[in-house]
Amino acid sequence: MLELANLVHVYPNGTRALDDVTLSIPKGMYGLLGPNGAGKSTLMRTIATLQTPTSGSIRFGDIDVIAQPERLRETLGYLPQDFGVYPRVSAYDMLDHMAVLKGVASARERKETVETLLSQTNLWTVRKKAIAGFSGGMRQRFGIAQALIGNPQLIIVDEPTAGLDPEERNRFLNLLAEIGETVVIILSTHIVEDVADLCPRMAVLAAGRIQLEGAPLDLIARTHGTVWKKTIAREELEAYRERYKVIATRLFAGRTIIHVLSDSDPGDGFGPVEGGLEDVYFATIDTSRRGTAAAAA
């Protein structure tokens, strides 16, 4: 179990990136959703001991993460949003080098580790190829391979499917699902579908604060009867924004579909939406933004 309590992180310029973040994250896949700038990467770097919070505590089992960062690093796998490697080195040699850095001293143990990880991430056939020639999906699979060195019990992946084509995305998510049965995996992303597909529990982070937390199906059930949709002309959008709480818009066949939040039927040609995690997310982010704007005013 990973326990975060009252985490605050204020950057030297005064930006409050984390504001009293408290979470309990069990074994399995845990989704952290939020828009760009929400504080997700700051939170991931803080958990990964790459920066120290202004205040608050982090515990992983019996490890005090802030006081004992080296203990957490022994059992941590981390795939950051911007994962850099030596591009001209082969996948096999790079993993072998990283295994040395992770403390795998035995040549035989390193060989077994590297070969197992290359097979597990479906990179065995390109093990001698320079990483510079890898596709985006192959690089991400290599990234998760290096994160798995040393059998970590806590794995953090930050925006892992951004920029991947649908086939590579599915392959990567299936790999995460296989790994996530026995360890804690935090999936930090702004892609709602990734969390919906994988995570039995999740949280929404916006403006540095946890806005919502729970099981996706429970959170979806809360929106039942409160989300409504209508197809309108594009030029009508601003007028509808003034009259209704519009939480999402999308184009279909040249027309604009809007989703609005209302506790009762708004009439005016709106129809009910069964609801989904995307509507939960948009409603939560909209409420957060309105609150921030009201506080600023």
> For 140-268, where are the E strands, in sequence order?
154-158, 184-189, 201-206, 209-214, 227-232, 246-252, 255-261
C-alpha 101/C-alpha 98 separation (Å) is 5
Domains of the chain with CATH codes:
2-215 (3.40.50.300), 221-296 (no CATH)
* pLDDT at res. 110: 92
C-alpha 175/C-alpha 79 separation (Å) is 14
Q: Which residues contact 244 (CB under 8 A, 6 or more apart)?
A: 258, 260, 262, 266
* pLDDT at res. 205: 95
The closest alpha carbon to 52, from 17, 23, 28, belongs to: 17
The runs of H, that is alpha helices, within 86-207 are 91-101, 107-120, 136-147, 166-179, 192-198
Give the whole-number percent of the chain exceeding pLDDT 70: 98
| Arithmetic mean of pLDDT, 289-294 | 76
Tens-place pLDDT, residues 179-208: 877 899 999 988 898 898 889 999 999 999
Tens-place pLDDT, residues 98-129: 899 888 888 999 999 999 999 988 899 999 99
Coil, strand or helix at 211: strand
C-alpha 78/C-alpha 231 separation (Å) is 43
Take residue 192 and report the two structure tokens written for it. 């709602």
Tens-place pLDDT, residues 141-155: 888 888 889 889 999
Residues in the chain: 297
Q: What is the pTM of this model?
A: 0.85
| Arithmetic mean of pLDDT, 169-173 | 82
pLDDT at position 11 over 90:
yes
Take residue 115 and report the two structure tokens written for it. 């070969």
C-alpha 252/C-alpha 233 separation (Å) is 11
Residue of 246 and 180 predicted with greater confidence: 246
pLDDT at position 92 over 90:
yes
Tens-place pLDDT, residues 78-89: 988 766 666 788
* pLDDT at res. 72: 94
Taking only Cα atoms into account, the Rg of the chain, rounded to an integer number of angstroms, comes to: 22
C-alpha 176/C-alpha 170 separation (Å) is 10
C-alpha 126/C-alpha 156 separation (Å) is 25
C-alpha 137/C-alpha 277 separation (Å) is 25
Would you say 129 and 115 are in contact if contact means Cβ atoms under 8 Å apart? no
